[in-house]
Structure formats: structure tokens, C-alpha cells
Structure 1
Amino acid sequence: MSTSTPARDTLAHRFGTLLRRPHVPAVAGWSLVCRLPVYLMSLATVLVVREQGGSFAQAGLTSALYTAGMAVGGPLVARRLDRAGRRPVLIATGLCYPAALAALAWTTRPGSWGQLAAATAAGIALPPANACMRSLWARLPLADTERDTAYLWEAILTEVLVIGAPLMLAALMLTGSAALAVTTVAALGGAGALGLALVRLPPGTDPDPGTERRDLLGPLRNPPMLALTAVMAASAVPIGLLTLGIPAFVAAHGSPGGTGVVYACWGVGSALGAVWLGRSQSDVPAAVRFPRLVLAYALGTGLTLAATSQPLLALALAVGGAPIALVSAVEMTLVGAVAPNGSLAEAFTWASLATVLGDAVGQQAGGLLVEPLGARGVFAVAFAVALGAAVLAFAVRPLLDRSTAATTAAECAA
């Protein structure tokens, strides 16, 4: 009888239904391949420079310039993606990105202008797979529940790639050099970009060229988008603080070699939390879910204050990290709802950059606070900042409510 229906409404079933929708398997598959370099290339460039005989200072500068290239080029490339569509942008970046990294790995020397230029060019030319795919989820002909499932897929995929991509790099290095590993991963990313560019999608999925007025801030001129971006940046600061506090705690309570295991528990907890809690999320409007999830994330951050050993810290991070992927998923849902339709790729890029900036600020602050306050003091600061982010999320909820309601009304009228 009907009692079997809820049992089938598992997250795996929802993912399976989504991935069987027309056009979805191709774009999801190619975007996965395209994103392989995203979560490991900063580390990989360090390994290449060290393999070439460069110093840690030279390796750090090369990696920093690659990251700076991404930060500067990301919004510009995404803006071009919105104006010109997927195909020209993904083909151009899919060819230029692996070429720049191959040049860095095989034709330049540590500290040379050529290597620094190649690192910067590679960062700028990184194929905009995240922005492209998330804007496609917003435009593909899907039901609202399917769109929510798609953004949850994105959030879980991020956690999987953060954990799995470095492992893939390590496996490639077992069979060859760091230069060969970097070239292989970059080539895969370029191939993924070309594949994603050539997928045929329904009419109207790509934006009409030049439909939006452009200026320096782009979609950030939209008050709900600016408010949402501010909450995302604030919510990322505790992540950066914990990134410094965790190894300090582990070093003070045992062998530093256990740091990687503790970090892994954090990521696993986030992924499992999404799988466990994600099933019922679509029943609540996104603007209502968002501040609640940010508050749950803040309270989870506070669990680290109760840890007195490595195993307890790992447990605190696994349990407390459960809402993280869900926060990310609902953020994507809201970006898709509040951003202008012709600026979706750029809006998703600004959202990602806000998270990266918040993380970087947290790491810098954590580095300055670890010695005077100790790991527990850094955990306390992270908890306080996370609570502040939750307060901000509740404060901007009326703005997000009005914006998402207006978007829904416009879609119904259309």
C-alpha cells in the first residue's frame, strides 16, 4: 500500500531520479571531470616547484599567484559566461588551462618570471565549472524539489572532491612525477570543460547575451545578493579559524600525525549530515531554512570547546560539522533565487569568492591567535564568530523572504 512510498523517498532515490532527468547525466558527468583540478591544484603547484628544486618560499609564491589569478579572473570569466554562454568560454578555458599548467610544470624554473606568469595565467583560465553548473541547475527545467536536490548534490560533491581529489593526486604521483600528475589532472579538467561545452541543452537554458546591465559590482548591486554574500563570508571565517586551531589542538594532545584523520572526520561528518538530514529540507522554504541551519552550524562549532582529546575532537567535528553541507546547499538555492537571471554564473562566483575570503581571513586570524590564546581560545573565537553569522542570517531573513517570494511570483506569472 502507500506505506512503501516514504521508504522510497530516500536521498539516494532523489539523486537517482534527478540524474535520470533529460540532459542531466551529461552535464553532471562532464562537470565532475571538469572540477577535478579545483580542489587540489594549489597543493599540486607547491609539489611541482619543490620537485623542481625550488624553495618553500618560491613554492608558496607560485601557489599564491595561482590563487590570486582565480580570485581576480573568476568573476570576469563568469561574467563572460553569462554574456556569451557556455560554449565559447568553456572551450577557451578548457584549452588554455592545461596549456598554462603544462608550461609551468615542464618549461619553467622555480622563481622565474615565466613560472609566476604561468601560475597566474592558469588561475585566471581555470574553467568555471562550479559557476556554470550551479547556474545551469537554476535554469534547467526542474521542479523546485529537484532543484533543491541538485544543490544538495553540489554540496555533497564538494565534500567528496575535497577529500578525494588530493588522494587521486597522491595516487598519480606514486606512478610518476608531480609534474606528470599536474599535467594529467589539468588535461582531465580541460577535457571536462570541453565536454560540458558541447552538451546540447534545451532552448533557454543558456542566458540571452547582453540582457543584463554590467558594472564593477554586477549582481552584488542587488541588496539580497549582497546580504547573502555577507552571511556566507562571515560563516566561512570559523572554518578558517578551526583550520589553524585543529592542528594546534592535536599537537598539544598527542602526535601531530593525527591531524589528517581529525580533518577527515570533519568532512565525513558534513557529508553524512547532508545524507541524513537532507531528505526533509525541501519541505521548508529556503529563506526560513537558511538562518536555522547557520545557527545549527554555529552550535556545532561550539562542540569543539568540549573536546579534551584527539578522539573527542574528531567526534565533535563529525557531529558539529553535520550542517555544513546543508548550509552550502541552501546558500546555492538562495543565490539561484535572488540573483538576476542574466548574472547567475557571476553571482555564484561571487558567492564562492566570499566563502574563500572568509576562510582566508579566519586562517590569518587563527595564525595570529593560536600562540596567545591556544587552540581552545581559537575554538572559542570561532564559536563566537559563528554565532555572529547566525545573528546576521536571522537579521537578513526578511530581505531574503521578500526576494524569494518575488521570484516565485514572477515564475508563476510566466
Structure 2
Amino acid sequence: MTNGLPHRFRTLLTQRRVGAVAWWSIVSRLPVYLMSLAMVLVVREQGGSYAQAGLVAALYTAGMAVGGPLIARRLDRSGRRTVLATTGVLHPSMVAVLVWATRPGGWAQPVAAALAGVALPPANACMRSLWARLPLKEQDRDTAYLWEALLTEVLVIGAPLALAGLMLSGSAGLALTTVAVVGGAGALGLAFVHLPAGTEPEQADAGADGPRRLLGPLRDSAMLALTGIMATCAVPIGLMTLAVPAFVAAHGSPGSTGAVYACWGVGSALGALWLGRSQSQVAPHVRFPRLVLAYALGTGLAPAATSEPVLALALAVGGAPIALVSASELTLVSTVADSRSLAEAFTWASLATVLGDAMGQQAGGLLMDRIGPRGVFATAFVLALAGAGLAFACRGLLSRGATAPAECPA
């Protein structure tokens, strides 16, 4: 498989000056996918209630949502070194304060959690904007965004496992602090790794329209449409996140929920490896609605499930397009967003997905007692079809808004 996707990944990541930045970006992103869970474990370990743990985790997430676009905007204006170096020190410091200097029930712990969320290093936005600026062939750039989508799947599964491994030899507080420090070190590494000339964003004028406006990249109609589609398509994910454990509990042992749920991610990864090679041959604004439709049809398999094994198979098969959808979304962000505000654009895109997922989980919780897991699966299918319809309706807009990624001298 000299032309297969693993070969393309290897070719991309072994290019001069790409491997180092990709490595540091992985290390810096470890805290992103486990902080909320780890904070809940820490608060409970300290004797706090689930309500107090939920408040700390929620304030951390809120801080991340509020601070993310602002930090990313500063990243676009000042460059990666100042922002990543500052947040790479501040974030683990605030996590350490939360773990070792505060206790549940006081005001200091929620405040520390919110500040830690605000100070989270913008590693995702930084790396995704760098992929758009690095001197790469367009096929390699598409491969890079598919790598980003697959990496997300791996980190979502692997980061909590790493936390569990750390907790085997110590407390939740020590494990959380260790992960935060490692992530901070990764942010510092990403800040100071040497990149080709021209890779850094141009310094924006303080009076420029884009970066200084409240909504920044979302003022562009194509970017606004894309984030709307992403939020809509994330709602079914949230719905199914609630429906899967409910279905498993009703048809078997709740202890097998993790195994069934994991089939979703495995299907997504295998789908990307199997189908990803041919995706770069189709224009992003053309393949994106097709992939969203495939994702929607995939969600339609879950309502037909009659047992745990059938649901696991439905999730694996139906989840095959998910990573490809994510990769196409990232490619479109890099083409429709202003090159001066790429980091902020990627941050808004991530927030759209997070908010859609959260809305789906909230809706799933409210609907579960009324219509049951099968009804929630069906609702997810309908909403996914709505997302596909929106993607096809906006195809022309995404095409008109497309601009070439920022070019760098080779």
C-alpha cells in the first residue's frame, strides 16, 4: 500500500520541520480531552459532592468557551510564541492551584477552574491554522486535516486511558497535575519549535475589520453557514451519546456500554483509513455535503438495532463517515476563513461542534423518559438529515466563499 493513507500520513509527518511541530501539538493537546472528567474525579476525591464537581467542570468548560475565541484572536494578532508560552505556564499553574490550594465548597475552587479554562493553550487552533500556512502540496494539506480528525478520535479514547493509568500509581489530583504540566510543556515546545519562513500569520492592523470585531470570522456568511452546519450535525452526536447507554442498559448489562460506544470511534477511524485516500480528488465544497449525507444515513442504522451486538455493528458501520466529515470541515474552514484570523476561525468551528453536542445531550436527557432510546436515535436521524439538507443548500455559498489557503515559500 505505497499509495495508501498510512503511507500518506508517514510522508506528511516525516517532512522536514513538520514532524517536530506535529509531535509538540499532540503533547500540548493531551489536557483538552480529559480535563472536565479529571476535575470531577478530583473534587470527588477531595470529598465534594457531585453537584460541586459538576459546577467546577461546568465553569472550566464555560471559561474555555469564553476565553477560546479571545485567546485565538490574540494568537492571530501576536503569533504563537507569546500566546502559547503564556498559556503553557498559566494553565498548569491554575490547575495546580485548583488541586492543591482549594477545596470543595469554597469560592476559590470554581474561580480557579474558570481561570484554568480561559488559560487553556490554543493548541488545536494553532496547529490547524499552521497546516493551512505550512508549505505543503494541496494533497498533503488534505491529508493533514484528515490526520487532525483521526487524531481527535485517538485522543478522545486515549487521553482518559492515560489518566486512568496515572491514577493507578497515585491520586486523581496528582494525575491531573501531571497531565496539565505535560500539556503545558507541549505548548512551550509548540511555541518555540522552528518553522519555515512565512508560516507565521501576518500581523493584523489594530484597526482592521476582521480580528477586532466581536464575532470576527463569523461576520463572513460562508464561515457562519459552515459553523451552523457543524453545530447542527453535532446535535445528533449528543443525542446518541445519551441513547447508547440507555439502550445498552435496557437490553443487557450497563457494564458493556464502553465497548459498544467504542465501536463508534473504531468505525470512524476505519472509515477514514478505508475511504480517505480518494477524498482529496473531490473539491471540499462538493464532497462535504455528500459526506454529511452519508453520516446522516449512518445514524439511521441505530433505530433499527434490536440488541447490543446489532447496535455495536450499526455504530461501527454508520460511524464510518464521521472522521471524513470532520476532515472536510477543517479543510473548508481553512479555505473560507480570512487568512489573518485562521486560529480564531478554527476555534469558533470547534465551539460550534461542542455546543451542538451539548445541546444534543441536554435534549437527549429530556426526551429519554418520553420516547426511549429508540425514539432518541430516530430524532438524531431526522436532525442529521436536516444537517445534510443544510449542507447541500449552502454548497454554493461555501464555494463562493472559498479562497486559497495562505501560501508560504517552499
Please give the range of the TM-score, normalised by the shorter of the 2 chains: over 0.9
User: How far 1:254 moved relative to its partner?
Assistant: 0.8
AA aligned to 2:132 is: A
How far, CA to CA, are the matches of 2:305 and 2:363 in structure 1? 21
Hey, what's the Cα distance between the residues in 2 that align with 1:189 and 1:210?
28
Select 1:246's aligned residue among 241, 244, 247.
Answer: 244
Is contact 2:145-2:328 (8 Å) kept? yes
1:101-112 equivalences under 5 Å are 101-112=95-106
Out of 77, 80, 83, the residue aligned to residue 77 of structure 2 is 83
Which amino acid is the alignment partner of residue 258 of structure 2? G
Residues 217, 344 of structure 2: 8 Å contact kept: yes
Residue equivalent to 1:223: 221
Note the 1:371-410 alignment, pairs <5 A.
Answer: 371-404=369-402, 407-408=403-404
Is the 2:132–2:405 contact (alpha carbons within 8 Å) kept by the matching residues of 1?
A: no
Distance 2:303 2:255 in 1: 21
**Pair 1:135 & 2:134 matched:** no
Partner of 1:14: 8
Using the alignment, how far apart are the partners of 2:93 and 2:404 within structure 1? 43
Report the equivalent of 1:113: 107
Q: Does 1:100 align with 2:98?
A: no
2:267 corresponds to which of 266, 269, 273: 269
Q: Distance in 2 between matches of 1:23 and 1:400?
A: 32
Q: Which runs of 5+ in 1 are unaligned?
A: 1-6
Separation of aligned partners in 2, 1:392 and 1:186: 39
Report the Cα distance in structure 2 between the residues aligned to 1:203 and 1:68, rounded to whole angstroms: 36
Partners of 2:132 and 2:406 within 8 A in 1: no
Residue by residue, what CA displacement relative to the aligned partner does 1:150-181 show, whole Å, maximum 9, x if unpaired? 00000000000000000000000000000000
Aligned partner letter, 1:81: L
Any conservation in 1 of the 2:91–2:116 contact (CA below 8 Å)? Answer: yes
Query: Match of 2:117, as an amino acid?
Result: G
Match of 2:27? 33
Aligned to 2:198: 204
Matches within 5 A, 1:316-395: 316-395=314-393
Q: Which residue of 2 aligns with 1:163?
A: 157
**What amino acid does structure 2 have at the position aligned with 1:375?**
P
Please name the residue that 2:148 is paired with: 154
Q: 1:186 to 1:411 in 2, by over 3 A?
A: closer
Instruction: Report the alpha carbon displacement of residue 102 of structure 1 after superposing the two structures with TM.
Output: 0.5
Cα distance in 2 for residues equivalent to 1:39 and 1:351: 16
Q: Decide whether aligned partners of structure 1 residues 250 and 408 sit closer, same or farther in structure 2, where only a CA change above 3 A counts.
A: same
What count of residue pairs does the alignment treat as equivalent?
Answer: 404
Which residue in the other structure is 2:306 paired with?
A: 308
One-letter amino acid of the structure 1 residue matched with residue 379 of structure 2: V
The runs of at least 4 aligned residues of structure 1 exceeding 4 Å deviation read 409-412
CA–CA distance in 2 between the matches of 1:15 and 1:262? 28
* CA shift for structure 1 position 258: 1.0
Equivalents in 2 of 1:113, 1:204: separation in Å? 46
In 1, Cα distance between equivalents of 2:86 and 2:332: 30
1:94-148 C-alpha deviation (Å, 9 max, x unpaired): 0000000011111100121111111001100000000000000000011110000
Tell me the equivalent position of 1:49. 43
Task: Please tell me the residue identity of whatever aligns with 1:42.
Answer: S
Tell me the distance in 2 between the aligned counterparts of 1:309 and 1:372.
21
Distance 1:297 1:409, change over 3 A: closer
Read off the aligned partner of 1:107 and give its amino acid letter. Answer: A
How many Å separate the matches in 1 of 2:134 and 2:405?
A: 18
Q: Specify whether residues 276 and 349 from structure 1 end up closer, same or farther in structure 2 by C-alpha distance, changes over 3 A only.
A: same
Q: Which residue of 2 aligns with 1:4?
A: none
Distance 2:51 2:91 in 1: 24
- The code of the aligned residue for 2:155 comes to L
Identify if the C-alpha distance between structure 1 residues 90 and 411 changes in structure 2 by more than 3 Å, giving closer, same or farther. Answer: closer
Separation in 1 of the partners of 2:351 and 2:407?
28
**Residue in structure 2 matching 1:258, options 249, 253, 256:** 256
User: Identity of counterpart residues, as a percentage?
Assistant: 73
Structure 2 counterpart of 1:185, from 179, 182, 195 = 179
Task: For residues 334-375 of structure 1, give each alpha carbon's deviation from its aligned partner in whole angstroms, at most 9, with x where no partner exists.
Answer: 000000000000000000000000001100100000000000
- 2-structure distance, mates of 1:53, 1:312: 40
Distance 1:119 1:174, change over 3 A: same
Equivalent residue of 1:362, what SS? helix
**Structure-2 residue corresponding to 1:3:** none
Q: Which one-letter code corresponds to 1:298 in the other structure?
A: A
Residue 21 of structure 1: CA displacement? 1.4
Deviation at 1:410, TM superposition (A): 9.5
The offset of 1:408, in angstroms, is: 3.8
